[in-house]
């Protein structure tokens, strides 16, 4: 009787391990050993993006989701804060699966606005091709190309839909295979993979296509336009942290010169946070106030409460708070004027302190009005 040929166990990189070692599949690890080797740096962006895994940024067309994705990518590459959260600096690979020309303008706008040199940004790479995640060879090729550089911390795929060419994004078979390929991409490179995706026709039902997408993700960020050029980010899913936190942002226009062919003026936008104040803090307060306190005065007091103790730059305070002021029916935007008037009236009453450059809350008779 012929003896079966001995074969070595199937070896794969373990959980995006960067030490170059290969380990057998399905190894049983004792609980004590397993728990003692967890990574203390579990967040790429504190309480927003885990260090590894799969997530998405979803939003309707024109909501600003790509600008949000770029802001996250640049914060990671530069090691700066995002929404006031700590960010672990690392290499970023941005996969432009659609409109690389448009992304080129957005990148230029970001660099101009933040006064950085893209030539000096050596840990931010762009792939200006659309991989097909239903095709195993495309996935192997993109992993090979990414692996030619240092291990990435973040891979962004913008957008997800084109990577399922030939499939049906409403089909569990199509989408589950594409998601599995994204998990493979993250596992083999050690990066967190972030998918930019569209909302469905019914925005209340979340992402477009197969309903099982959200369940497969570690984190989901939803981007919505609240009113004209007033937008918000909401953590709509977080597997290992709290959900529901929200921040305001706007898109600020950046001029990019003129077209050398048509002479038409070119521009793009950049993501600008409009509030260090989580939006839900305003919602949950319902602006409860005495009868003699106007709505804009209540906004000032609530904003100062959220800003915390100490003095604050008055322009930063106005930018963060003005989006909560009702615009009204006037053709001109007079929200800043209304907010400043409310600030001055509170200062005159001794409820707050302010001068030409700074503002602070006081601990005088109106402390109860802030709670």
Tens-place pLDDT, residues 15-32: 434 444 555 778 898 888
Contacts of 342-350 spanning 24+ positions with Cβ under 8 A: 342/294, 342/296, 342/297, 342/299, 342/300, 343/300, 345/294, 345/297, 346/297, 346/300, 346/301
Determine the Cα–Cα distance for residues 67 and 70; give it in Å rounded to an integer.
5
Position 283 scores a pLDDT of 42
For 279-370, CATH gives 1.10.10
Q: Of 96-105, 195-204, 270-279, 286-295, where does mean pLDDT reach its minimum?
A: 286-295
Position 78 scores a pLDDT of 95
Position 351 scores a pLDDT of 85
Cβ proximity of 315 and 321 under 8 Å? no
Determine the Cα–Cα distance for residues 303 and 340; give it in Å rounded to an integer.
13
User: Phi/psi of residue 222, each to 5°?
Assistant: -105, 130
- pLDDT band at residue 2 under the 50/70/90 scheme: very low
Cβ proximity of 55 and 192 under 8 Å? yes
Domain 43-273 has CATH 3.50.50.60: no
List the domain boundaries for the chain. 43-273, 279-370
pLDDT over 80 (residue 221): yes
Position 330 scores a pLDDT of 66
pLDDT over 50 (residue 7): no
- pLDDT band at residue 155 under the 50/70/90 scheme: very high
Position 58 scores a pLDDT of 95
Q: Does an H or E element contain 172, and which?
A: helix 172-189
> What average pLDDT does the chain have?
83
In whole angstroms, how far apart are CA 112 and each of 3, 101, 122? 69, 17, 17
Q: Is 174 helix (H, G, I), strand (E, B) or coil?
A: helix
């Amino acid at each position: 009787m012929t003896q079966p040929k001995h074969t070595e166990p199937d070896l794969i990189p373990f959980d995006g391990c960067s030490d170059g070692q290969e380990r057998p599949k399905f190894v049983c690890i004792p609980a004590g050993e397993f728990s003692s080797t967890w990574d203390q740096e579990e967040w790429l962006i504190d309480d927003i993006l885990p260090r590894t895994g799969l997530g998405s940024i979803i939003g309707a067309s024109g909501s600003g989701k790509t600008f949000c994705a770029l802001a996250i990518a640049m914060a990671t590459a530069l090691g700066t804060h995002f929404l006031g959260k700590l960010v672990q600096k690392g290499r970023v690979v941005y996969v432009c699966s659609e409109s690389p020309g448009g992304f080129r303008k957005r990148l230029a706008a970001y660099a101009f606005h933040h006064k950085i040199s893209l030539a000096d940004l050596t840990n931010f790479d762009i792939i200006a091709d659309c991989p097909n995640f239903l095709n195993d060879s495309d996935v192997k090729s993109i992993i090979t190309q990414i692996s030619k550089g240092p291990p990435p911390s973040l891979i962004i795929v913008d957008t997800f839909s084109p990577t399922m060419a030939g499939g049906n994004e409403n089909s569990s078979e199509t989408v589950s295979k594409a998601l599995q390929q994204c998990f493979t991409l993250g596992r083999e490179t050690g990066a967190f993979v972030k998918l930019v995706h569209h909302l469905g026709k019914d925005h209340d039902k979340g992402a477009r296509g197969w309903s099982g997408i959200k369940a497969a993700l570690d984190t989901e960020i939803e981007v919505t336009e609240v009113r004209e050029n007033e937008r918000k980010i909401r953590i709509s899913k977080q597997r290992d942290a709290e959900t529901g936190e929200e921040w305001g942002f706007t898109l600020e226009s950046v001029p990019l010169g003129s077209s050398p062919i048509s002479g038409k003026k070119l521009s793009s936008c950049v993501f600008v946070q409009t509030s260090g104040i989580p939006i839900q803090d305003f919602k949950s307060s319902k602006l409860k106030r005495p009868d003699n306190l106007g709505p804009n005065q209540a906004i000032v007091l609530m904003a100062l409460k959220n800003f915390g103790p100490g003095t604050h730059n008055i322009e930063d305070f106005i930018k963060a708070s003005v989006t909560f002021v009702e615009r009204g029916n006037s053709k001109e935007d007079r929200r800043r004027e209304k907010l400043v008037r409310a600030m001055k009236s509170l200062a005159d009453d001794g409820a707050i302190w302010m001068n030409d450059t700074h503002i602070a809350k006081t601990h005088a008779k109106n402390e109860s009005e802030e709670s």
